[in-house]
Amino acid sequence: MRTRHNIMMDEEVWQLLKEARMATDKSISQILEEAVKEYIERHKKDSLKLMLLSSIPYVDEEEEKELTELLDSLTPEDLEVAEVEKL
C-alpha cells in the first residue's frame, strides 16, 4: 500500500528529480523508491560488516584481516533471511 509522506531536500536535487521524471516518464515517487531500494541493496553488505565488526571482541591484526576477507566475500544469498523464529 502506498502512503503519502513529506520530505525536505535541496532545491538542486528536486530539479534533478523533475528532469529525471520527464526523461523517464516515471513519477518522482517512483524514481525515489527505486533509488532508495537500490541504495539499500548496495549498502546492505557494508551495514552488516560494520555491525559485525562492532560486536566482535578485540582480535589481533591477522584475525581481523581474516574476518574482513570473510565478510567481504559474502554474497547477496548469504544475506538473505533463511528462517524466522519467534523467541
**Amino acid (1-letter code) at residue 7:** I
The CA distance from 44 to 66, in Å, is 20
pLDDT computed for residue 35 by the predictor:
94
Q: Out of 16-20, 48-52, 68-72, 80-84, which region has the weakest mean confidence (pLDDT)?
A: 48-52
Torsion of CA 32, 33, 39, 42, to 10 degrees: -150
Q: Is 26 exposed, middle or buried (0-12, 13-18, 19+ CB in 10 A)?
A: middle
pLDDT (tens digit per residue) in 20-67: 999 999 999 999 999 988 887 777 777 777 677 667 677 788 888 898
